[in-house]
Amino acid sequence: MKSKRVVAMLAAVMMVMSLTAGCSGGSGDGSAQGEESEGGEKILTVYQGTAQYSEMIEQICKDYKEETGVTLEWEIPSDDPYTVLKARFASGEAPDIIDLQCGDYDTWYERCVDLSDESWTGHVYESSLNGGSYDGKVYGLPYAMEGSGIIYNKELFAQAGIESVPTTITELREVCEKLEAAGIQAFGEAWGDWGFLMHILGIPFTYEGAAETSERLTAGEETFSDMEYMDDFFDFYDLTLDYGWGAESIGHHYDDQANSFAQGEIAMIKQGTWHTDTIASINPDMDLGLFAVPLTDDPGQTKLQVSTTRFLSISNTSENQEEAKKFLNWFYENAQTYMIEQMSIIAPYDNLDLSETGALNMDMNAYVEDGMVYDSFGIEEWPSGFNTDQAEPLQAYASGVMDREEACQTLQELWNSRVSSSSSEE
Amino acid sequence: MLRNKGSLKTKNWLVYAVFVGPAVLLCILFIFLPLVIGVYYSLRDWNGISVSSNFVGIQNYVKALTDDKFIGTIGFTLKYAVVMVIGYNVFGLALAMILNMKLKLRGILRAVYFMPIVIGTSTVGYLWNFIIGTFLPFIGKTFGIGFFERNWLAYPETAFLSLVIVSLWQGTGYYMIIYLAGLQSVPSDLLEAAQIDGAGLKDRFFKIIFPLIRPSVTVCLFLSIVNSLKSFDLNYSLTSGGPYGTTQTIAYRIFLDAFDADQLSYASAEAVIFSLIVGVIAIIQVKASRKKEVEM
């Protein structure tokens, strides 16, 4: 009986201890093997961070194989791509080419090959190039430029008798009132997803100067409460709640928002050019437009946030670095075919023909041509981890649990704790 | 004779090694080794990506124990665990009692109640996310049922309730099966004898059935405590820890710190603290309920 008890106890302890197993990670030196299959044909492995480009990737793999004989093994994970990628690096199975986002490079540069001497660097917009750089060196080939703003249903706007897009917060409020009077729900926001709250919280940063504001917050010279456009931000946030799903906005997510919008139940959603294909897949005939989020009554400040969001980098443990560089170059040269014609997404290169890239991109282009653009989402310089943290106080504000001051204070505390943890890592 | 005895001993050892060896090896490889590595990383400042890291001592532990958010998730997890342990065991035992009676559809009903545990928890989470977040409000608005009109996942109390209901829906069948096995080992002659002696339903349950199924109770209590403390996937897929972080369990918090906030060392420290908490609770429980078991 006694030994039975001991065994049971041991079993219990072991089951419990297995808990920590998931959080350990390994000390991989990341020695990826240069893979060559039987016939000696070359293989490049690519790891994609988003499923958005699946269709294009399929086509590229086929065409690249035909043209050069190199096989691309392009992996598209379905969920939580970066967790998987970190595990790959830790276990020494790093892919040759990895797909990263702007803001990733202050941690990921250690794993990437310096691409500063590649010929394409001369044709990429400088602001885009900066997003894939660290300490003056280029580590990523930018390939997607996206604009963040309010997408609106032109048909519903016409029904409510609205003739032009609002360029000030007062005009936006009038638009909401007109829509409400016409029996149309103005907003419908997916504030259950931290990613979209992150986008709108970035707006007051871009208004004030994104990099400088982040710097001042980190240095303690400024707080969220005294950020110049914070009140305007909350005014805008209130509009999306009052004329939308109210406190329940925080129970809504990307999918049901896209559905409701594409079925014409909502007139406006705060999204961006990346939404083109999602909406088209539900309702291809929708008449759409995009306009910049107005926070103030100065139309000169109402510029569209445009940022380079995705980059291709080469893993510095790859044994096929030269082959990978060739592929990046090929990808750059064929951006017109794949990015623009097939995906309707703009690549940030100065030698592309941008006509006919979809309504949202056309509207973004108009802003770019007028120079009415903030060249960031305002979030690039945030301390690591704050992008997910910020959602909690903002959701609490939407529920009425916090007021503006409390929300700002909590944002500040979260910011500070992320700053202190990242500085202790250096 | 002597030689014979000796070889028998070595033979026994060989038999033990063959049976236990593989399991021990797997345990070392997948449980003890990662645990040691986890402790190692908890004493460093690795972010999960960079090539090098430094030794920082117990700094991560100090930070975790003074981190209001982490302490908050411990509180939430304990609250959730208490509700779930009561729920799982009360409903599990009740269902087992009912399905141990001679019902016509007994076999089918047992399968039906057990079925949800077969579906992956994250699948269940996403399905119920749609049911609770979209479908029920639609039903509520269409038929004017005030109770369902609001999106339950948008408010802390109802989000917690959703979590409890879905967990129960999914997990109860599992405990039911363990209790059923226990109930079937209760000899019917004992119960008959008691009945003839005039023992009522209540007496039969508390004086005969319950003491005899104590081993099942121990197992079910242990499993339900550990499983609800470790709860992660449903929080991830059903509520995503929301609204505004009010339904974050410890495991989910550790995941966020490790992979979203890129603080793998800090998360390892949290995980070690978490294991200690679960370990202590589990050992106390096993010890306490073992004492009360009776053997036939």
CATH of the domain at A290: 3.40.190.10
Mean local confidence (pLDDT), A139-153:
91
Query: Which position has the higher pLDDT, B290 or B156?
Result: B156
User: What is the distance in angstroms between the Cα of B192 and the nearest Cα belonging to chain A?
Assistant: 30
Same domain as B35, residue B145: no
Same domain, A116 and A239: no
Query: Reduced to 3 states, what is the DSSP secondary structure of residue A52?
Result: helix
Same domain, B81 and B3: no
Contact status, residue A286 vs residue A358, Cβ threshold 8 Å? no
pLDDT at B15 over 80: yes
Return the bridge partners of A286, or none: none
Under 8 Å between Cβ of B222 and B286: yes
Q: Nearest-5° angle of CA A139, CA A145, CA A146? A: 130
Interface of B with A in 101-130 (CB under 8 A): none
Residue A132 confidence (pLDDT) = 87
Question: In this structure, what token pair is assigned to residue A139?
Answer: 């580590």
Q: Which has more pLDDT, B291 or A372?
A: A372
- Do B144 and B192 have their domain in common? yes
The pLDDT assigned to B295 comes to 60
Is B38 in CB contact (< 8 Å) with chain A?
yes
Same domain assignment for residues A299 and A339 = no
Instruction: Judge if A271 and A165 occupy the same domain.
Output: yes
Specify whether A160 is located in the same domain as A273.
yes
| A163 and A285 fall within a common domain | yes
Helix (H) or strand (E) holding A389: helix A386-389
Residue B243 has pLDDT above 80, yes or no: yes
- pLDDT above 80 for A27: no
Best residue in B260, B287, B296 for a mutation probing chain A (most A CBs within 10 Å)? B260
Q: Are residues B112 and B171 in the same domain?
A: yes
Residues B14 and B74 in one domain: no
> What does the buried/exposed string (b/e) look like for A132-156 if buried means 16 or more CB atoms within 10 Å of the residue's CB?
bbbeeebbbbbbbbbbbbbbbbeeb
DSSP 3-state assignment of B202? helix
Asked if residue A250 is part of any domain, the answer here is yes
Count of structural domains within chain B: 2
**Interchain pair B27, A14: CB under 8 A:** yes
For the stretch A36-83, pLDDT in tens is 444 567 889 999 888 778 888 888 999 999 999 899 998 887 677 888
For CA atoms A348, A354, A356, A362, the dihedral sign is: positive
Is the CB of A25 less than 8 angstroms away from the CB of B48? yes
Same domain, B74 and B8: no
Whether the predicted pLDDT of B3 surpasses 70: no
pLDDT at A38: 46
Do B263 and A421 count as a contact with CB atoms less than 8 A apart?
yes
Residues B115 and B23 in one domain: no
Contacts of A265 in chain B (CB under 8 A): none
Q: Nearest-CA distance from B26 to chain A in Å?
A: 12
Q: List CB contacts (< 8 A) between B272 and chain A.
A: 20
- Is B51 part of any domain? no
pLDDT of residue B155 exceeding 60: yes
pLDDT at A5: 56
Same domain for A90 and A102, yes or no, is: yes
Is B157 a member of any domain? yes
If asked whether residues B24 and B170 sit together in one domain, one would say no
Quick one: A281 and A334 in the same domain?
no
Domain hosting B237: range is 61-291
Is A35 a domain residue?
A: no
Substitution target from A6, A23, A47, A110 for chain B, most B beta carbons within 10 A: A23
d(CA B104, CA B107): 8
Chain B residues with CB inside 8 Å of A5's CB? 290
Between helix B33-42 and helix B264-291 the angle, nearest 10°, is: 130
Q: How many domains does chain A have?
A: 2
Please tell me the least confidently modeled range out of A1-10, A265-274, A373-382: A1-10
**pLDDT exceeding 90 applies to what percent of chain B?**
39
Own/partner pairs for B156-160, CB < 8 Å, 24+ apart?
B156/B243, B156/B244, B156/B246, B156/B247, B159/B239, B159/B242, B159/B243, B159/B246, B159/B247, B160/B80, B160/B246, B160/B247
Mean pLDDT throughout A252-268? Answer: 91
pLDDT tens, position by position, A357-380:
778 888 888 888 788 888 888 888
Residues B263-290 have pLDDT tens digits of: 889 999 999 999 999 999 989 988 888 7
Same domain membership, residue A122 and residue A68: yes
Contact B266 A421 (CB under 8 A): yes
Residue A196 sits in the same domain as residue A100: no
What's the domain range around A267?
148-306+377-423
Given a contact cutoff of 8 angstroms between Cβ atoms, the answer to whether B178 and B165 are in contact is no
Residue of A3, A5, A16, A189 to mutate, interface with B, max B Cβ within 10 Å: A16
Q: For residue B128, what pLDDT band results from cuts at 50, 70 and 90?
A: very high
Per-residue confidence (pLDDT) for residue A7, from 0 to 100: 54
Chain A residues touching residue B254 (CB < 8 angstroms): 23
Percentage of residues of chain A with pLDDT beyond 70? 88
Round the average pLDDT of chain A to a whole number and report it: 84
- Among A25, A252, A392, the residue with its CB nearest the CB of B41 is A25
CATH code for the domain in which residue B256 is found: 1.10.3720.10
What are the residues whose beta carbons fall under 8 Å from the beta carbon of A221, sequence distance 6 or more?
Answer: none
Q: Read off the pLDDT of residues A186-243 as tens digits, 9 standing for 90 and up.
A: 999 999 888 899 999 999 999 998 889 999 999 999 999 989 999 999 999 999 999 9
State the Cα–Cα distance between residues A358 and B39, nearest whole angstrom. Answer: 52
Q: In the prediction, which pLDDT does A26 show?
A: 36
Say yes or no: B33 and B123 in one domain: no
pLDDT-based confidence at residue B291 (cuts at 50, 70, 90):
confident
Let me know if residue B207 belongs to a domain. yes
- pLDDT reported for residue A28: 35
Cβ distance of B48 and A86 shorter than 8 Å: yes
Residues B31 and B67 in one domain: no
B95 in the same domain as B2? no
Kindly state whether residues A122 and A234 are assigned to the same domain.
no
Average pLDDT over residues B26-38: 92
| Contact assessment for residue B106 and residue B187, using Cβ atoms and an 8 Å cutoff | no
Which of A20, A82, A104, A256 to mutate to test binding with chain B, by most B CBs within 10 Å of its CB?
Answer: A20
Instruction: Indicate if A286 and A322 belong to the same structural domain.
Output: no
Q: What is the pLDDT of residue A37?
A: 45
Tell me the C-alpha distance between A389 and A194, whole Å: 8
Question: Is the distance from CB of B38 to CB of A24 less than 8 angstroms?
Answer: yes
- Shared domain check, B284 and B178: yes
Of A15, A20, A418, the CB nearest to B38: A20
Q: Do A19 and B251 touch (CB under 8 A)?
A: yes
- Give the model's pLDDT for residue A232: 94
Instruction: Indicate whether A358 and A285 sit together in one domain.
Output: no
B292 touches chain A (CB under 8 A): no
**Residue A140 in domain:** yes
ipTM: 0.71
Among A24, A252, A399, select the one facing B268 at the smallest CB separation.
Answer: A24
